[in-house]
Structure 1
Amino acid sequence: MPTFQSKTYRRATTASSPLGERLGAFYRARLARHPFLLFGLPFIAIIVAGSFALTPATAVRYERYDRKVKQLSQTEAMDLGLKGSDGEEGIKRNPRRRVVGDEKEEYYRLMAKDLDSWEQKRVQRFQGEPDGRL
């Protein structure tokens, strides 16, 4: 029984072969000798170029979301108390309490509160917002 040849079978490229077949044969022959140059480097280049190409698209997505969240009509602003009736900005209802005196006085005032007797109250949700109850 004859032994197999050590050469691998590759069809001979002729002048009548299509260009794609000739380029494929050329690429496969060189790939065995230079795998990083012909496979790894193009792969890494595509990944890096894709990252640079997708960065502006992602930025546009987040900017659009920020604009949507920041849009607040004038009636909503008045309902929330963010603008007065004359259009001036500033919180009109329930301003935060200022700390009067030094830190020690404030510390002792807070320590004097009874922290053991408190009642848990649910926060009122906006219309249509899920409240977490099943």
Structure 2
Amino acid sequence: MPVFQAKTFRRATSASSTIGERIGAAYRNCLPRHPFLLFGLPFIAVIVAGSFALTPAAALRYERYDRKVKQLSQEEAINLGLRGPDGEEGIKRNPRRRIVGDEREEYYRLMAKDLDDWEQTRVRRFKGEPDGKL
């Protein structure tokens, strides 16, 4: 029986093997010895770089949406009471104005409600609308 050589087979380098093939072969050869350095680290780097690259795109998307929402025609502003008919500012609205005069008063009003004694009633449906009963 013939004896096999202990040397691994390596293809003879010829003119047909390009530099890319040689780099790929060297990468595949080193990958089992250093898996994180040659596979994990580049993968993590691509994920982090992609995050930084997509941040401005996401910001641009939200800025466009904000501009679209903020555009309000003169007629709509008058209808909403934000401007008067002659263009001057309408009712001054204070977003921090409290609906309820006192927080304690509202707290006690909510605590006085009986939340344990209630009855479940079905909502009336429109004609022809399924009511969900089997």
Normalising by structure 1, what TM-score? 0.61
The 1:50–1:3 alpha-carbon spacing in structure 2 relative to 1, beyond 3 Å, is farther
Aligned length: 108
Give deviations 1:24-69, integer Å, cap 9, x for gaps: 1111111111111011100000000000000110010011001100
Q: CA deviation at 1:102?
A: 9.5
For residue 90 of structure 1, what is the aligned residue in structure 2? 91
CA distance in 2, matches of 1:38, 1:48: 16
Structure 1 gaps of 5+ residues are 112-132
1:27 aligns with 2:30: no
Give % identity: 68
Alpha-carbon spacing, 1:26–1:82, altered in 2? closer, same or farther (3 Å): same
* Alpha-carbon distance in structure 1 between the residues aligned to 2:32 and 2:103: 77
Equivalence map 1:23-102=2 (5 Å)? 23-86=23-86, 87-90=88-91
Change (3 A) 1:4 1:63: farther
Of residues 37-46 and 76-85 in structure 1, the stretch that sits farther from structure 2 once superposed is: 76-85
Where in structure 2 are the equivalents of 1:97-108 lying within 5 Å? 104=105
**Partner AA of 1:35 in structure 2:** P
Q: Which amino acid aligns with 1:44?
A: I
TM (norm. structure 2) is 0.61
Q: Which runs of 5+ in 2 are unaligned?
A: 113-128
